[in-house]
Amino acid sequence: MTSTLLIVQIVLAIAITIAVLLQKSSSIGLGAYSGSNESVFGAKGPTGFLAKLTFTLAFAFIVNTLVLGYLYTASNSASVTDSIVPANNAAVPSAPITTENSAPSAPAAPTAN
């Protein structure tokens, strides 16, 4: 599942890059190479279509990023140190459990004679 979403993430990143580069700017960008294909998008040209496409692709990119983050976090909740076994397969000793109070008791009060 995560590998499929990762491939979709890469495709979305490339598509957003292309959509942004095709938009008309002050220096025209790559939109100058579209030629007469502007009539396909309507009388206004590709401006409205490319803006909506860019927004849709960006929204899909953000949702895909959140889903990928959730899936990676859910699958990697265990630590690597949980699976480490000592080289000699010996059990690691734990701290001894004492039932008594380990603090010394207060000295007895002196008696008056």
**pLDDT tens, position by position, 47-104:** 688 888 999 999 999 999 999 999 888 777 767 777 777 667 666 677 777 666 667 7
Task: Give the pLDDT confidence score for residue 109 in this predicted structure.
Answer: 81
> What is the residue extent of each domain of the chain?
2-23+41-77
Tokens 């459990």 correspond to 97
Q: In angstroms, rounded to a whole number, what is the distance separating the alpha carbons of residues 36 and 18?
A: 18
DSSP letter for 62, please: H
Task: Give the pLDDT confidence score for residue 37 in this predicted structure.
Answer: 47
| Cα atoms in the 13 Å half-sphere on the side-chain side of 35 | 1
Q: Is the per-residue pLDDT at 15 higher than 70?
A: yes
Rg for the chain (alpha carbons), in Å? 33
Q: In angstroms, rounded to a whole number, what is the distance separating the alpha carbons of residues 2 and 63?
A: 14
- Planar angle of CA 54, 21, 35, nearest 5 degrees: 105
pTM: 0.52
Q: Mean of the pLDDT values across residues 25-52?
A: 60
Q: Mean of the pLDDT values across residues 103-111?
A: 78
